[in-house]
């Protein structure tokens, strides 16, 4: 059982194109699925010549036919279209309005020419329906029609070769082989008489048309024979587009999905009375349809559930298999485009495919960049964890090199997994950022580790120097500073050697290593200098303590008992000389063996100048302590200036005078039996002691 015939009015009698009707018709017949595998057949001829009847029998369509009992009149207005039943491939049939109808009038030929041009532009096969008795007649009804066809043909730039099948109706007894030469002669005369552009002045008819002729008996008088002849003719329309088939040259054929748009544009240009540039029209249709297909594919891709899941997932973390899956989704989308656009102009569809691919990649790129960002973050965090552990097991530099190489390779593998086949995106910028992040972390850890090592060895050096230096300074002898220098050299050498060994795994450049070792050496010096400054700040207390110890205790460190036999003068001098030695020792930092005269200066100024037997007027008149600096001692190494020494000594004497007085008083108490003589001697001695001080 045959399906119901599907048809629609394509263009009405007023020349209005039925867009919605054609779109609905195409969906019903599923034309878009045909690709290039479809044919278009149209029929022209005088009014009431049986065109619709022929089409209905030939293609089993349902075009409206004339009622013979009601007289000849126009039955088809405008252009109608139907789908041929049981003809492969899909064949669209167009029934055109008659060309000599009295309804439009003799002068109204505009629509006739427009519809003829439209039929030639879209059809593979054009049926010319004509009466047998018109063959050879000068006033034949088909002559104006043929002139119209040939004239409008000139308005098609680069027209494709169309099959023009002349259907002779109501054939007489004259054999077809006798009628056909006459008909071809008539056709050639009409062709020769049509004005042509200069380029086609000598072009033969065969360049534009594949002319074929068939004859049919009268439908009304010999219906059975007519049906048989039509059935035979119908067989010729099966596989009409195959090589050797009835259809002509199909170079300009528009893919089925673009048929509606193409037809609309043809009719628009025709109505505007413009010439049709078929090659340009083909490109234009391809451009519009390929763009439409591209937009559809972009919309389909963005709505794809798998893509949406991947797009959401990469916002929060790295997604394994991203590249392979996205490549698959893109490939599927582009393949669908290729399938739908395959029959359109190659240059256009390729160009639009590139545009589609570019749009899809623009959609994917943010997700790709986000993925690389997560990959970089994950790789960096993993590097930090692994590197911190590796540093404990391996040398720093080795751990840094090996870990960096390992995790950059891991990034490469991850970025390779993210690679999308359709594009060669370069992840090097993200990798460079990862390199910088890794290097920054290595530098930070190196700085921290080196700082810790330096602090450790500085702490060790401080511990090795602080207390010994304090003890040496407290002893205050000729050997104090030489002993300190020896101690400093020994402990600094040991510390520097230890640090040098510890930082060897860092593979530092020579300048950096020297800087660290020098810093440690300087730290040792600063410890000594700091300790010396601390001791110098409390020199007065130290001097008084030393004086008190030496004055109040004997050689066995036992407290003195003032019995009257002790030489207080000598004891006082010894104690004060020791205190002055302490002051001399603390007056300057002596870490270099360049020597100074501080001890001599203090001795001359504070001890020798006060002796009763001193007669050198130069010593008495010139005060060597009346200065803010020591000779041959730089300011930065000065702890106590000459002026400060003088002031401290004066204060020291004043604060220790009472101790001496108390000692003398004690002797006096024990020596009352010696009488006034001894008392007088004591007073005189005390006076001498004061003078010597």
Residue 234 is predicted with a pLDDT of: 94
Domain-located, residue 688: no
Q: Say if residues 568 and 675 touch (Cβ distance below 8 Å).
A: no
Give the residue ranges of the annotated binding site.
Answer: 45-52
Instruction: Report the alpha-carbon distance of residue 343 to residue 289 in Å, rounded.
Output: 11
Residue 437 lies in a domain: no
**232 and 368 part of one domain:** no
We report the CATH number of the domain holding residue 245 as 3.40.50.300
CA distance 468 to 647: 29
Peptide bond between residue 654 and the one before it cis (omega within 30 degrees of 0): no
Asked if residue 367 and residue 240 are part of one domain, the reply reads no
In-domain check, residue 431:
no
Same domain, 84 and 230: yes
Q: Are residues 17 and 150 in the same domain?
A: yes
Contacts of 363 (CB under 8 A, 6+ apart): 298, 301, 302
- For residue 452, the model assigns a pLDDT of 93
Q: How many domains does the chain have?
A: 4
- Where the chain has pLDDT below 50, the residues are 67-74, 101-102, 104, 106-107, 614-615, 617-620, 673-679, 685, 689, 691-693
Where among 515, 538, 561 does a domain terminate?
Answer: 538
Q: Which residues contact 443 (CB under 8 A, 6 or more apart)?
A: none
Out of 272, 296, 318, a domain closes at 272
Cα-based distances in Å from 596 to 335, 475, 537, 582, 587: 97, 19, 21, 15, 11
Residues 186 and 43 in one domain: yes
Rounded (to 5) percent helix, strand, coil in the chain: 65, 10, 30
pLDDT tens readout for residues 351-367: 999 999 999 999 999 99
Inside any domain, residue 692: no
- pLDDT given for residue 678 in this prediction: 44
Answer yes or no: do 26 and 133 share one domain: yes
Bridge partners, residue 588, by sequence: 638
CA 524 to chain centre: 52
544-571 pLDDT per residue, tens: 999 999 999 888 889 888 888 889 999 9
Residue 208 domain flag: yes
The token duo for 141 is 């009804």
Residue 363 domain boundaries: 284-425
C-beta separation of 353 from 341 below 8 A: yes
**In this structure, is residue 516 part of a structural domain?**
yes
Give the residue among 359, 377, 366, 373 at the shortest CA–CA distance from 311. Answer: 366
Strand 209-215 relative to strand 162-169: parallel, antiparallel, unpaired? parallel
Distance CA 91, CA 337 (A): 25
| Domain shared by 265 and 296, yes or no | no
Claim to verify: residue 314 and residue 337 sit in the same structural domain: yes
Same domain, 291 and 413: yes
> Do the domain assignments include residue 460?
yes
Q: Are residues 504 and 559 in the same domain?
A: no
Q: Which residues contact 263 (CB under 8 A, 6 or more apart)?
A: 10, 17, 22, 118, 122
Q: Are 170 and 133 in contact (CB under 8 A)?
A: yes
Residue 475 CA: distances (Å) to CA of 169, 412, 578, 585, 606: 146, 69, 10, 9, 21
Given this model, what pLDDT does residue 687 score?
53
Instruction: Tell me, yes or no, whether 141 lies in a domain.
Output: yes
Helices marked H in 342-423 — which ranges? 346-393, 396-417
Q: How far is CA 620 from CA 83, 604, 616, in A?
A: 142, 10, 7
Report yes or no: 330 and 422 within 8 Å, Cβ to Cβ.
yes
| Beta carbons of 93 and 52 less than 8 angstroms apart | no
Say whether both 530 and 577 belong to one domain: no
For residue 76 the two structure tokens come to 């088809």
Q: Which of 373, 405, 425 is the C-terminal boundary of a domain? A: 425
88 and 206 within one domain = yes
Q: Is residue 114 within 8 Å of residue 15, measured between CB atoms?
A: yes
Three-class DSSP labels, 517-570: HHHHHHHHHHHHHHHHHHHHHCHHHHHHHHHHHHHHECCCCCECCCCCCCCHHH
Which pLDDT score is estimated for 621?
53
DSSP state of 125: E
Return the bridge partners of 90, or none: 38
Binding-site members for GTP are 45-52
Size of the chain in residues = 693
């Amino acid at each position: 059982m045959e399906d119901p015939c599907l048809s629609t009015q394509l263009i009405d009698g007023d020349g209005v194109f039925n867009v919605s009707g054609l779109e609905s018709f195409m969906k019903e017949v599923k034309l878009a699925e045909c690709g290039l595998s479809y044919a278009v057949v149209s029929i022209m001829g005088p009014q009431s010549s049986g065109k619709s009847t022929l089409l209905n029998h030939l293609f089993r369509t349902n075009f409206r036919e004339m009622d013979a009992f009601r007289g000849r009149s126009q039955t088809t207005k405008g252009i109608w279209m139907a789908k041929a039943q049981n003809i492969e491939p899909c064949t669209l049939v167009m029934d055109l309005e008659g060309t000599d109808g009295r309804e439009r009038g003799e002068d109204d030929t505009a629509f006739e020419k427009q519809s003829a041009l439209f039929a030639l532009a879209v059809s593979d096969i054009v049926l010319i329906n004509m009466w047998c008795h018109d063959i050879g007649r000068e006033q034949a009804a088909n002559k104006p029609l043929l002139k119209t066809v040939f004239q409008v043909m000139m308005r098609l730039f680069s027209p494709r070769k169309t099959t023009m099948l002349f259907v002779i109706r109501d054939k007489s007894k004259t054999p077809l082989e006798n009628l056909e030469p006459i008909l071809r002669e008539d056709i050639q005369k009409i062709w020769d008489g049509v004005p042509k552009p200069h380029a086609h002045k000598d072009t033969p008819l065969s360049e534009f048309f594949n002319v074929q002729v068939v004859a049919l008996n009268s439908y009304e008088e010999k219906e059975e024979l007519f049906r048989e002849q039509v059935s035979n003719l119908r067989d010729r329309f099966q596989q009409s587009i195959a090589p050797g088939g009835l259809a002509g040259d199909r170079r300009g054929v528009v893919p089925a999905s673009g048929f509606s748009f193409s037809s609309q544009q043809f009719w628009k240009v025709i109505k505007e009375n413009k010439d049709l540039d078929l090659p340009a029209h083909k490109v234009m249709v391809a451009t519009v349809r390929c763009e439409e297909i591209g937009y559809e594919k972009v919309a389909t891709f963005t709505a794809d559930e798998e893509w949406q899941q991947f797009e959401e997932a990469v916002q929060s973390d790295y997604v394994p298999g991203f590249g392979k899956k996205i490549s698959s989704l893109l490939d599927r989308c582009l393949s669908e485009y290729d399938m739908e656009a395959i029959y359109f102009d190659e240059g256009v569809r390729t160009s639009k495919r590139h545009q589609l691919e570019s749009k899809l990649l623009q959609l994917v790129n943010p997700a790709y960049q986000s993925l690389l960002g997560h990959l970089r973050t994950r790789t960096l965090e993993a590097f930090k964890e692994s590197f911190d552990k590796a540093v404990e097991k391996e040398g720093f530099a080795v751990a840094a090199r090996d870990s960096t190489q390992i995790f950059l390779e891991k990034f490469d593998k991850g970025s390779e997994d993210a690679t999308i086949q359709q594009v060669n995106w370069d992840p090097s910028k993200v990798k460079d950022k990862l390199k910088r992040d890794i290097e920054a972390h290595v530098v930070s850890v190196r700085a921290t580790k080196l700082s810790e090592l330096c602090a450790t060895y500085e702490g060790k050096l401080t511990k090795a120097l602080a207390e010994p230096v304090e003890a040496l300074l407290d002893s205050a002898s000729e050997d104090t500073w030489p002993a300190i220098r020896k101690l400093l050299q020994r402990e600094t050498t040991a510390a520097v050697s230890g640090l040098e060994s510890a930082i060897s795994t860092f593979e530092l450049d020579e300048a950096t290593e020297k800087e660290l070792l020098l810093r440690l050496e300087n730290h040792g010096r600063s410890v000594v200098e700091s300790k010396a400054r601390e001791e110098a700040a409390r020199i007065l207390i130290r001097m008084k303590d030393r004086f008190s110890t030496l004055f109040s205790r004997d050689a066995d460190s036992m407290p003195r008992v003032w019995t009257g036999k002790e030489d207080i003068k000598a004891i006082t001098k010894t104690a004060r000389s020791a205190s002055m030695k302490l002051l001399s020792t603390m007056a300057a930092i002596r870490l270099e063996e360049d020597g100074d005269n501080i001890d001599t200066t203090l001795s001359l100024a504070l001890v020798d100048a006060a002796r009763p037997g001193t007669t050198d007027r130069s010593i008495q008149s010139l005060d060597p302590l009346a200065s803010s600096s020591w000779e041959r001692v730089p300011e930065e190494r000065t702890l106590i200036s000459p002026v400060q020494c003088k002031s401290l000594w004066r204060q020291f004497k004043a604060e220790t005078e009472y101790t001496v007085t108390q000692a003398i008083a004690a002797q006096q108490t024990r020596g009352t039996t010696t009488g006034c003589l001894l008392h007088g001697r004591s007073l005189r001695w005390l006076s001498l002691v004061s003078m010597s001080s």
